[in-house]
Amino acid sequence: MSDFDNNPWAASNVTDDFNFPQNQFPVNVPDYLVASILVTLFCCQPLGIAAIVFSALANGEKSAGNYPKAVNHAKNAKTCLMIGVIGGALLILFFLGLGIIGALTDIQ
């Protein structure tokens, strides 16, 4: 063995610290933080806050290099976002409908 083989910093001794199969590293793990903040402000606060928490967890796990947990937290954030947007839109339409019905009944 040469001195190069005993060098811990040699390129040949670099290992996969993330436990992913070779060439299957996730390129991008979205954290949905901006969308979470917008849902919190405009649609549904409880689900938006949950999405912010999951987004922060996804960002932290991505920074730590734990991609499977980051992907899991990102999926949870996306689920909260979708439910919040759909639920918020339905509530807005419901209250708009109540307002329109109330306005029409006041006219007659």
Q: Is the whole-model pTM more than 0.85?
A: no
Within 1-108, residue ranges assigned H as helices are 3-6, 33-42, 45-64, 67-107
- Quick one: the chain helix, strand, coil %, rounded to 5? 70, 0, 30
- Tell me, yes or no, whether 8 lies in a domain: no
Provide the domain limits for residue 41. 32-107
19: left (phi over 0), alpha (psi -120 to 50) or beta: left
- Tell me, yes or no, whether 94 lies in a domain: yes
13: pLDDT confidence band, cut at 50, 70 and 90? very low
- Tell me, yes or no, whether 99 lies in a domain: yes
pLDDT per position as a tens digit, 26-65: 568 888 999 999 999 988 899 999 999 999 999 999 888 8
- Tell me, yes or no, whether 22 lies in a domain: no
**What is the Cα–Cα distance from 57 to 69, expressed in whole angstroms?**
9
17: pLDDT confidence band, cut at 50, 70 and 90? low
Count up the domains in the chain and report the number: 1
